[in-house]
Chain A
Amino acid sequence: MSQLAVLFTSVALVVIGLYAAIFVDNIIKKIIGISFIEEGANLFIVGIGYKSGGIVPILAPNMDVSWFTANASYPLPYGLVLTSIVIGASTLAVMLALVMVLYRRYGTLSTKVMLADTSKQEEYDE
């Protein structure tokens, strides 16, 4: 049941993120939306490793191995998500740094102004 809740939440996060990516104009809000997609994916992977009533996957010296394998949750996804969160954070930092530079140049956070089509302006600069 709780695994289903995790799945629904992650799907909702991804869908909200995709919605924000298309329909929100403010670049900061757009980036927040995009990081929702990433968190949705991370949450989904954490959800894979979850086992209802499971134990922490650390084999203590006096534990029975077969009992441990039956009850421990799957540790691989946690390791993966940790890496993925770090990557996500660095991506976010670079994006926000670029936004800062562009905000100083344009004085607005609107995507329509800041990230509009630039090829035309170059074509007509006679």
Chain B
Amino acid sequence: MNELIPLMVIVPMIAALLLSAFSKFDKVIKVLAFVVAFCLPIIPLVSNYGLHYFGGYQPVLEPITNMTYHPAITYSFNFMQQIFIAIIGLLTFLVIFIYLTKYKKVSGPYLFLVFMGTAAVTALILTDDIFNMFVFFEILALAQVGIVAASSIDYSYEMALKYMILGSIGSPIMLLGIGFLLALTGSVNITDIVLAIRSGIVNFKSPVFLISLGLIFFGWLYASGLPPFHTIKSGIYSKAEPHGAALLQSFTVISMISIVLILFRVYSVLPIFEVLIVLFSVLAMILGVSLALTQTDFRRMIGFLAVGELGFIGLGIGLGTQFSITAGLFQALNEIVITALLFIGFGAIVNATNEVDTRKLGGLLAYHPKVSIMLLIGGLAMAGVPPLSGFQSKLMLVQASLSCGYPELSILAIMVSIATFVVFVKTFYSMFLRPKPHDLDVVTKDVPRAMIFAMAVLLIIVIAFGLFPDVVTNGISQYVGGMIH
């Protein structure tokens, strides 16, 4: 059923518009949001692989040059897209579920933002059109700003405005890069652009091509929150509601990998492309983890850890072999799940104590044993402890960098994992294990059931990916092999 491919984007978008329009009817939007969120992970799983041409414009064979052109916006759907869209759909469902059970009166505009963000990342990963990518990249940025501004945490408006201002520098620069690429190739379809470069119509050593890489790369840095955007990215995670932050980080990861795969297809003919990606990934790993070590607000700490983990994904893609890109994508998948688990779990703690400073917390193990055990497993998975999923992907990354002849990158990756472990253990100790400070009054209310449920679902995925990584890696590896050759 190829007709389902555009529906993956259209369903959340229509739902978003309806929810915003009927926001006065509380019952109706609750039911609608729940039903649509429930459908989101199912649609990609029942859909067939294939291509979708919007408007039905099939590719045209040009008789003179004997090359195929794609006049329509094309969506391509394969195993890689399927697994990522299913995971993002599942996460959206869990977040919507937590949100609906948490508040008596739900806000239509907030649900609008959540669904719009989901639609935007789904389109980002499906699209084969560089301008379509830019449009959804902008919609995603707006949705992210909205989710941050909607939270009731102090300074959330300030952080949202900062993100927006940086974004309105990053995205026009990216647009300029797309313009350069359009000027060179005359097309916005990525398959056509790649064909033009491979067949030698475009001189890939020309400065215009190089500059277009630089400009789009800068936009990618903003989208993925690698340095110099790591502070703002971790900032918006810490200012959003915990379930919102869980969704925001997944948006970041998906936009990062979908844009970088496009960049890889277009620019992998240039050796400098891989150097750039590895350089910024290494910077992200070092800065993210070393800043996480110094944080006292645990939401900010996970934010920085999430940025550090993004470095691993970039490292895998920057090494540029089939095995390393598979490892990077698998790491991306794991990171979405694990970081969401951590954000939701720590959100449960905020819910119970109204305190985010690790210095003022302590002794919570006695009050919330379930949450703390699940958080512990999530943290171990992030640090890469076997047999959890983070271990599998990090091991693959270490092997990949060794086999590419960069042992120093392997050592760096292991060191960053250890430092991640230190950060997590330090925080876990000060929050859960050490004696409770006298002035901390734990509100003796239960953690919401929905949060426990969401954490349990995510934990099952973490353990399942850790025990059976082949289920995912084989399919991704095939996709990557098809993309490289």
Contact A98 B186 (CB under 8 A): no
B5 at the interface (CB under 8 A from A): no
The CB with the most chain B CB atoms within 10 A, among A21, A99, A115, is that of: A115
**Given A18-B169, A48-B183, A95-B164, A114 and B158 contact (CB-CB distance below 8 Å):** yes
Q: List B contacts of A34 (CB < 8 A).
A: 165, 168-169
Q: Does B243 contact A (CB under 8 A)?
A: no
Could you mark each residue 36-48 of chain A with 1 if its beta carbon is under 8 Å from any beta carbon of chain B, else 0?
0110111011001
For residue B86, CB closer than 8 A to chain A, the reply is: no
* Given A45-B179, A77-B182, A98-B157, residue A91 in contact with residue B168 (CB < 8 A): yes
Instruction: Check: A62 CB closer than 8 A to any chain B CB.
Output: no
CB-CB under 8 A from B173, the residues of chain A are: 37, 41
Cα separation A122 to B135 with both chains bound (whole Å): 36
CB contacts (< 8 Å) of A83 on chain B: these are 131, 135
Instruction: Give a binary string over B202-240; 1 marks a CB under 8 Å from any A CB, 0 the rest.
Output: 000000000000000000000000000000000000000
Judge whether B188 and A76 touch: CB under 8 Å: yes
- CB pair A45 B135 closer than 8 Å: no
B157 cross-chain contacts in A, Cβ below 8 A: 98, 101-102, 105
**Which chain A residues border B168 with CB–CB below 8 Å?**
31, 34-35, 37-38, 91-92, 95
Asked if A37 and B172 sit within 8 Å, CB to CB, the answer is yes
Q: In the assembled complex, how far is the CB of residue B300 from the closest CB belonging to chain A, in whole angstroms?
A: 7
Asked if B436 CB lies within 8 Å of chain A CBs, one says no
> Separation in Å of the B239 CB from the closest CB of chain A?
9
Q: Contact at B158–A123, with CB atoms within 8 Å?
A: no
Given contacts A44-B176, A48-B179, A90-B142, contact A37 B169 (CB under 8 A): yes
Cβ–Cβ contact A94 & B142, under 8 A: yes
A40 touches B172 (CB 8 A): yes
CB–CB A41/B164 < 8 A: no
Interface of A is mostly: helix
Main secondary structure of the interface of B (DSSP, over half): helix
Query: Is B11 located at the chain interface by the 8 A CB criterion?
Result: no
Report whether B169 and A99 are in contact in the complex, using a CB–CB cutoff of 8 Å. no
CB neighbours (8 Å) of A98 from chain B are 145, 149, 157, 160-161, 164
Q: Contact: A118 with B158, CB < 8 Å?
A: yes
**Could you say which residues of chain A place their CB within 8 Å of the CB of B158?**
102, 114-115, 118
Q: Identify the closest chain B residue to A80 (Cβ).
A: B131
Set of chain B residues within 8 Å of A101, measured between Cβ atoms: 157
B297: Cβ under 8 A from any A Cβ: yes
Q: Taking the nearest CB of chain A, how far is it from the CB of B46, in angstroms? A: 31
* A18 vs B215: C-alpha distance when bound (angstroms): 14
Which B residues, 162 to 197, have Cβ-Cβ distances below 8 Å to chain A? 162, 164-165, 167-169, 171-173, 175-176, 178-179, 182-183, 186, 188
Q: Is B138 an interface residue (CB 8 A)?
A: yes
Partner of A45 from B164, B182, B296 at Cβ < 8 Å: B182
> Are B161 and A99 closer than 8 Å at their CB atoms?
yes
Residues on A with beta carbons closer than 8 Å to the beta carbon of B139: 87
- Chain A residues whose CB sits within 8 angstroms of the CB of B146 once the complex forms: 94
Query: Are B155 and A118 within 8 A (Cβ)?
Result: yes
Which of B160, B182, B186 has the most chain A CB atoms closer than 10 A to its own CB? B182
Quick check: is B154 within 8 A (CB to CB) of the other chain? yes
Given that A48-B182, A76-B182, A123-B296 are known contacts, is A30 also in contact with B142, CB under 8 Å in the complex? Answer: no
Further pairs besides A80-B131, A102-B158, A114-B158: 10, Cβ < 8 Å = A18-B169, A21-B165, A34-B165, A45-B178, A48-B182, A76-B188, A92-B168, A95-B164, A101-B157, A122-B154
Give the A-binding residues of B (Cβ under 8 A): 131, 134-135, 138-139, 141-142, 145-146, 149, 154-155, 157-162, 164-165, 167-169, 171-173, 175-176, 178-179, 182-183, 186, 188, 296-297, 300
Q: Which residues of A contact B (CB under 8 A)?
A: 14, 18, 21, 30-31, 34-35, 37-38, 40-42, 44-45, 48, 74, 76-77, 80, 83-84, 87-88, 90-92, 94-95, 98-99, 101-102, 105, 114-115, 118-119, 122-123
Some 16 contacts from A to B, beta carbons below 8 A apart, are A30-B165, A38-B171, A38-B172, A40-B172, A48-B182, A74-B186, A76-B186, A77-B179, A84-B134, A91-B138, A91-B142, A91-B171, A114-B158, A115-B162, A118-B155, A118-B159
